[in-house]
Amino acid sequence: MQNQAKILAQSAEALAQLINHHIPDDSSPTLEKTYPETYHRIRYLRQKALNIINHFVETGRNPDNIAKELDSEILEKKLIAENQQLEHLFPQTKDPAQRENFFKNLFRIGNILGFQKEEMVDITDHRLLSLAYYAQIGLQSQKLSEDAYHKIRHKPFVNITTNKAKNHRRITSQEKAIQKLYQTGSLYDSLEIDFV
């Protein structure tokens, strides 16, 4: 619609200029004294042509104004729809105080990610605002992860030996002692076995 309005406005302007180039100049005052009827007829035709030019210029401006009004109505409807979708995704934006805090955080995250304030103001798509919100959560999670990593990185390494490893060695030595007793049948080998 806006393109059609621009084309119509340009066409009207071009036609007005074309007509303007073919309009004769004002007749001289001497013609009025010598041939008053011709002078008035030329002047009348010139004024009529100028009125036609003005009509084309006004016609060209009118669709442009209508297109601007339509654009503003479309933008307003789009903003209302985007706001409803944003409130559906983030119910906290229904409360004015929480909404202000929500957008303040989004602007802060946008600034961290390299957006200028002017760029953030122009964002109306709820999907981009959702991305910024979840980027904020991701950055918070990353910071917590880095903090936890730095805390454990500077702690000394602790070697914990489990009872399972000790028991395994003890069981293995008991098995060897029993096997030796079985082979030799010696009283001394039987003393090496722990019967507890």
Do 48 and 112 lie in one domain? The reply is no
Do 150 and 184 lie in one domain? The reply is no
Do 6 and 83 lie in one domain? The reply is yes
Residues 8-53 pLDDT 10s: 677 777 777 777 777 767 777 777 788 888 888 888 888 887 887 7
Do 154 and 164 lie in one domain? The reply is no
Task: Give CA separation, 177 vs 77, 161, 163, 169, 189, in Å.
Answer: 89, 24, 21, 12, 7
Do 82 and 53 lie in one domain? The reply is yes
Q: Could you say which residues of the chain have pLDDT below 50?
A: none
Q: What is the domain extent for residue 181? A: 159-196
Answer whether 43's CB lies under 8 Å from 26's CB. Answer: yes
Do 149 and 181 lie in one domain? The reply is no
Residue-level pLDDT at 193: 74
Do 64 and 33 lie in one domain? The reply is yes
Residues 159-168 pLDDT 10s: 666 656 566 6
Do 64 and 13 lie in one domain? The reply is yes
Residue-level pLDDT at 165: 59
Element (H, E) at 115: none
Answer whether 2's CB lies under 8 Å from 46's CB. Answer: no
Do 69 and 18 lie in one domain? The reply is yes
How many structural domains does the chain have? 3
